[in-house]
Amino acid sequence: MQKVENLDETTLLQSTCYRLPFIVNSDCLSFLNSLQNDLIDLTVTSPPYNLGAKHHTGNNVFEAYDEYIDDMPEVEYQEQQIKVLNEIYRATKQGGSLMYNHKNRIKNGKQITPYEWLLKTDWTLKQEVVWFNGSQNFDKCRFYPMTERIYWLSKGTDTNFVNAINQHDLIKDSAEGTDKEHKRAFPVKLAQRLIMCFPDAELIFDPYMGSGTTAIAAIKEKRKVIGCELSEKYTKISNDRIKNELSAPTLF
């Protein structure tokens, strides 16, 4: 795990890291504690969903993550999410936004909605977007769950959002990652679309960077990006992906 120095705007502007995207191998609360107030323009993230150490989708049984065991008592999980979300809020500029990917889960036979903790945070809820990702859960005991959510949360009600991509509130994109090194990656084009709607957002953040999808999307959209990831293995995957993306020849 890397030691996180205090990151204020001056430090970031002077460091080469700020110009080159970098992912720190750190717990997100420690990383967030190192950030000054009012620094981030936009966060795009997907936390672990607390699905259990193993969970199944259709006939496929998934191990959760490399280092993180995605299995906390639900009350503790929700309290932890509130802490992380409020720390992101503190480090976000007034008018900044957070695009938070999560989903309705079924536990012990009843549905848990992310609203149970989102409405207890400092954020203003701007909009709920449905992401139809066609996941393969065909349990006969309920309607097949095929969607996740992206909650658009803002710091204050005035934001610099522009629907530059004429997108309605149902996004259809296949989930990525099942056969790759990170099983819960979201698609780059999804993150890219979200970033495109914030043309003034210079600094993008992801506290749960996983395989680096948000960073790749931010680079493609010519933004600066910072982030952290608990697993050393995923941090390396992210940073390798970033290096490849930065060295890829551009057509124009």
Ligand X SMILES: C[S@@+](CC[C@H](N)C(=O)[O-])C[C@H]1O[C@@H](n2cnc3c(N)ncnc32)[C@H](O)[C@@H]1O
Q: Which of 102, 103, 182, 224 binds ligand X (CB under 6 A)?
A: 182
Q: Does 241 bind ligand X (CB under 6 A)?
A: no
Q: Which of 43, 78, 159, 211 binds ligand X (CB under 6 A)?
A: 211
Contacts with 91 (C-beta within 8 Å, 6 or more apart), sequence order: 32, 35, 36, 37, 38, 39, 40, 205
- Of residues 25 through 84, those in contact with ligand X by CB under 6 A are 27-28, 46-48, 65, 68
Beta carbons within 10 angstroms of residue 159's beta carbon: 20
Q: Does 183 bind ligand X (CB under 6 A)?
A: no
- Of residues 114 through 133, those in contact with ligand X by CB under 6 A are none
Q: Which of 50, 92, 192, 213 binds ligand X (CB under 6 A)?
A: 213
Strands (E), 133-241: 147-154, 170-172, 203-206, 224-229
Beta carbons within 10 angstroms of residue 102's beta carbon: 21
The distance of Cα 46 from the centroid of its chain, to the nearest Å, equals 3
Q: If DSSP codes are grouped into helix, strand and coil, which group holds residue 171?
A: strand
Q: Does 235 bind ligand X (CB under 6 A)?
A: no
The length of the chain is 252
Count of residues touching ligand X (by CB under 6 A): 21
Binding site for ligand X (CB under 6 A): 27-28, 46-48, 65, 68, 182, 184-186, 207-208, 210-211, 213, 228-231, 234
